[in-house]
Chains A and B, each alone.
Chain A
Amino acid sequence: MSDRTTALPPGAPARGPGLLRAFIAQPEFGPLVLLVVMLVVFTAINPAFLSLTNIGNALTFTVELGFIALAMTMLMTAGEFDLSVGSVFGFAPVVMWTLFNTEILPLPLAFLAALLVALVIGLANGLFVTRLGIPSFLVTLGMLLVVRGSALWLTDGFPQRTWNAGEQWLATVLVGDFYIGGLRIYMSLIWFILLAVMFHYALTRTRFGNWIQATGGNPGAARNRGVKISRVKVALFMVSALMAAFAGIISSIRVSAANPNSGTGYELEVIAMVVIGGTVLTGGRGTILGTVLGVLILRLMRNGIVMIGVPGLAYNIFIGAIILGMMALHSGLERRHNAGV
């Protein structure tokens, strides 16, 4: 991780206190502390929080939004964001199960067709933003309505049945489960871990990742150096839609229904996960590790406050407070960092 030392102030000694300071200055430090505090507090109040059943359940729900958050981290690092992910999350499984249930395509091909539709949606988002110069907020807000409307129109508002997925190998590969000791693990968790490692590698170790950061950090300088910033952005909008579709399909198989309304409001929850993890809303700097922590924080919070007896309806109060607290922490660290402390 030779590149992670970037938070070291110039000339800082790399000895014990210096290392500790560098660690504290990392954007992932705040979310990590918060996650540990949450685990301790929830477990102290209700020891069942750390039970294998609860952890298994919480992780299952966690990863579905996590897939989208990984892609959103890349997109936000490049200085854009995508509000249409929640509607793609609802639309892609509707496409897949409609094609399958009406016997137009076998399941694996219907799966690929749904992913292809998502790629086209992402491409459209990307072209509107890069070719016409319309802010991604407006483009993806429009796309949200178009895609959600398509899902409702296609299904007349009724959920598509998915319960005959049971005999399909694809369903097993995507959401099958197995036990490690008493812990029930779903395949979707394995996929999430694999993808998180790949995204982290791509963002920090490859030329594409370097271009993503440059695109968000200083687009003019990046373009002058030959970075194809439009292509970077279009590719990331496509990845974003693809991951939203993938997450929606996994979710539909797990709950045995493709509801055209599912995923409503997910876009803001995903963006919250990403910024809590330390990725900057204005672009230039992003962290996949932080996003994974942000995903865990939001999902475990939802799970934990119910288990310790806080009314579930109060959930948003906690999430809002966490976002505000984390933003204050990140901006404080940023100022300290810039002051060379």
Chain B
Amino acid sequence: MAETLVEMRQIEKFYGRVHALRSVNLRIERGEIVGLLGDNGAGKSTLIKVLSGAVAYTSGEIRIKGRPVQMRSTLDAIANGIETIYQDSALVPQLSIARNLFLGRELRKGAGILDRLDLDRMNAVAADLLKRVGISKNIPPTTPIGSLSGGERQAVAIARAMYFDSDLIILDEPTNNLGVAETQGVLRFVREARDTGHSCVFIAHNIHHVFQVVDRIVVMRRGTVVADDLSPRTSSIQQVEDIITGEHMAA
């Protein structure tokens, strides 16, 4: 792990009087999968919103590949190679897979009033991409997202992040409401993304899912990071759960 991709330093966030993030430091290396864990209200979702540009932070610094950046909007984050995959909110159900993949960055041809979508090329790229992320069933790229299963939708969102070569893919509860087989599918896509050089931040309530796929576990409690170098190979699920709940301090 030679290169540090993202470094968040001393991030503070107030919601009115609520101190949601207290001097949070977080590093993400290139090509690693970080599991972010914590109880409800621990601050993990606020931290992710800060990193994805959805929420402004009160103070602190974010560096990407060593360079300080401003995160004012989700577009800033995307421009900096950070792609966030929220449950369901990332795709337009009525549009086809191909049109969703290229939404906001449509391929076009022709000039002037003949400036139009290059649907043939968009569909071809989408079909190729679906094969690459291993959607085994024969789903045409013109299928509307609305008729896909939850796992297939996550796969499309991950495929999009991979196609646009995002350095960091943030997955917020990607396995919620998914069946066993679909969950395994999503975890496979996450590994695939890592193996092709993307870093991931993986947030899930289900600690077993996190243990199956991540390289490193970061735990937050009460707005601050309480552990950031737990390995699923050396720590047990029980130990991590104790840190999440604060039991290890009481013991």
Contacts and interface: CB of A to CB of B under 8 A. Distances in A.
Contacts of B123: 2
Contacts of B147: 9-10, 337-338, 340
Given A206-B116, A210-B99, A226-B75, A5 B140 contact: yes
A contact patch SS? helix
Interface stretch (B16-24, B40-48, B88-96, B172-180): B88-96
A227 B142 contact: no
Interface residues of A, number: 32
A86 to B, nearest CB: 29
Given A3-B142, A10-B143, A284-B92, A226 B78 contact: yes
Interface in A36-52: none
A213 B92 contact: yes
A227 B103 contact: yes
Contact of A8 (B94, B143, B148): B143
A231 interface: no
Contacts of B75: 226
* Max count, chain B CB within 10 A of own CB: residue among A213, A220, A221, A338: A221
A207 B103 CA distance: 9
Contacts of B90: 221, 224
Interface stretch (B64-72, B104-112, B213-221): B104-112
Contacts of B144: 6
B227 interface: no
Contacts of A284: 92-94
Nearest to B54: A224
* Max count, chain B CB within 10 A of own CB: residue among A5, A225, A337: A225
Interface string B144-160: 10111000000000000
Interface of B: 74-75, 78, 84, 89-96, 99, 103-106, 108, 115-117, 119-120, 123, 137-140, 142-144, 146-148
23 contacts: A3-B96, A3-B142, A5-B142, A6-B96, A9-B147, A10-B139, A205-B117, A205-B119, A207-B115, A207-B117, A210-B95, A210-B99, A213-B92, A217-B94, A217-B95, A218-B91, A218-B92, A218-B93, A224-B74, A224-B90, A225-B78, A226-B75, A285-B94
Interface of A: 2-3, 5-6, 8-11, 201, 205-207, 209-210, 213-214, 216-218, 220-227, 284-285, 337-338, 340
